[in-house]
Amino acid sequence: MNYAQWLEFAKERLVQNQSLDPFLNPKSDSLLLLEFVTKRNRASILAFSDDRLTEFELTQLTELLEKRCQQQPMAYILGEKSFWTLNLKVSPCTLIPRADTEILVEQALKIIKERLKYPQNLVQQEFAILDLGTGTGAIALSLASELEDIAEQHKFNLRIVGVDFLLEAVELARSNAIRHNLNKVEFIQSDWFNEINDHYDMIVANPPYIDENDEHLTQGDVQFEPKTALVSAEEGYSDLKHIIKIAPQYLKPQGVLLLEHGWQQANKVRSFFTKNQWQHVMTIKDYSGNDRVTIGQKNEK
Ligand code: GLN
């Protein structure tokens, strides 16, 4: 069988299964699988579509296509997912990084660059960031990739700590740091703040925030992701509330918290911030125009 024939066959198989899962994308999913197995890029596959698959490649492809027909997420099948400028290893023990979260990285960088205009304000020439529930390490590593050079130029010490309650996630995040040669990031196992006993300039988190009865949990990729990374008690607000309440204890003066939440949760989340005396509370929309991240600054009084 050659590349073109396999693509036709795979597309057909995926179309048959599309009624079960409207998130299947026959054309792009089959191309991605072929790229992955042949280790060739899209352009080369399309240019040499008469090339024949080896017996081994065909066996692998059959297996992967079957997984996709059973609706398994592409990111888990391929074992990787792009986020920000990084290609990250993923595994079913963590959430698959989403483009929605990139706005959090963008805002965090904006705030940090603003702070660096007045480096004399940095406590002990250090900027420290804590990423709670880091999963693949997506947020912590994206920030590290942007900030490591800046820290060197501006001569301040950059310290980024990512925590996850799951050891498997911590190990995955560590391997992603090695993969991208980012060495200002440390990953440790901690249930939220439990193992933390120092202070940060910034805390970031994409905690679980979905209500357990939300039908979104039974659709597409989400049904294969760990519930611990998605679902939170009190209609999805329990972990958001906990972090908003406790974070000030772990922030330096002027420290900021950036918290991702559901697009319909902004009003309530802002009210938790203000009830806990945070200042300058504001919500930012993601690239799809949905309220996604709320930011607050620690109150010094
Ligand atoms: N935004 C994700 C979703 O809707 C959920 C991520 C999370 O709970 N932290 O699938």
Q: pLDDT per residue over 248-270, tens digit each? A: 999 999 999 999 999 999 999 99
On whether 54 is known to bind a ligand per the annotation, the reply is no
230 lines ligand 1 (CB under 6 A): yes
Instruction: Tell me: ipTM over 0.90.
Output: yes
Whether residue 106 has its Cβ less than 6 Å from ligand 1: no
**pLDDT of the residue at 271:** 98
Ligand 1, atom nearest to 207 Cα = 9
Residue whose token pair is 């042949």: 38
pLDDT (average), residues 49-59: 97
Helical (H) or strand (E) element with 293: strand 291-297
What confidence tens digit (pLDDT) does each residue in 205-253 have? Answer: 999 999 999 999 998 999 999 999 999 999 999 999 999 999 999 999 9
8 A C-beta contact, residue 4 and residue 51: no
For residue 35, the surrounding DSSP H or E stretch is helix 26-38
Cβ proximity of 250 and 203 under 8 Å: yes
Contacts of 41 (CB under 8 A, 6+ apart): 35
100 CA closest ligand 1 atom index: 1
Q: What's the CA-to-centroid distance between 262 and ligand 1, angstroms?
A: 7
- Is residue 209 within 6 Å of ligand 1 at its C-beta? yes
What are 261's two structure tokens?
């939440």
Please write the tens of the pLDDT for every residue from 163-212.
999 999 999 999 999 999 999 999 999 999 999 999 999 999 999 999 99
Q: Give phi and psi for 184, each to the nearest 5.
A: -95, 5
Closest CA to ligand 1's atom 5: 230
CA distance 259 to 188: 20
